[in-house]
Amino acid sequence: MTLRDIASFRPATPGNGMEPGGWAVVGLPANFVAAASVEVVSGTLLGQPADVRFTPVGYRWVHGDGAEVEASTPGAIWAALGQREFSETATSHAYEASGVYTVELAVVLRAEYRFAGSPWRSIAGTLTVAGEPQRVLVGEVDTVLTQDDCNADPAGPGC
């Protein structure tokens, strides 16, 4: 059995998420997260009812600025990792210049098949599936130190 034999079995398009949602700050990590999990697709293979199981084994983000990040996990949001916003993660990327970038995600899948509930059998090779491209607006920010909440005390130091 080869990958060509299971061409009619199509895995779902992986989700391509990030935080903050759709924007980033120059010089600070933006956190990228793929939504892809083990998936079983049923159909007909060699004239017999069959299942094909797709298992994610690798993730690659191309960030539109010449950088790529490869990971063995899909990543996770900062809160799930117990990290503060703009913390570096295994799937994060920091842009060096302002602009609008397109981030492309590719998920590498391993495939297995079975007929009528028989044991799973591996298929040699891997399959790469692209997620939807994501537009990211990258900008610069200035920070200002204030003594208190400027909405509550607009005349306060730094407001």
User: Is 132 a member of any domain?
Assistant: yes
| pLDDT at residue 146 greater than cutoff 80 | no
User: Is 154 a member of any domain?
Assistant: no
User: One-letter amino acid identity for 88?
Assistant: E
Q: Please give the mean pLDDT across all residues of the chain.
A: 93
User: Is 63 a member of any domain?
Assistant: yes
Q: Would you list the DSSP string of 93-125?
A: EE-SS-EEEEEEEEEEEEEEEEETTPPPEEEEE
pLDDT of residue 152: 84
pTM: 0.85
pLDDT tens digit sequence for 33-82: 999 999 999 999 888 999 999 999 999 999 999 999 999 999 999 999 99
User: Is 151 a member of any domain?
Assistant: no
All residues at 6 or more sequence positions from 15 whose CB lies less than 8 Å from its CB, including other chains: 34, 35, 36, 131, 132
Question: Domain residues for 84?
Answer: 4-139
User: Is 159 a member of any domain?
Assistant: no
User: Is 152 a member of any domain?
Assistant: no
CATH number at residue 34: 2.60.40.10
> What is the mean predicted confidence (pLDDT) over 109-113?
97
User: Is 157 a member of any domain?
Assistant: no
User: Is 26 a member of any domain?
Assistant: yes
Quote the number of domains for the chain.
1
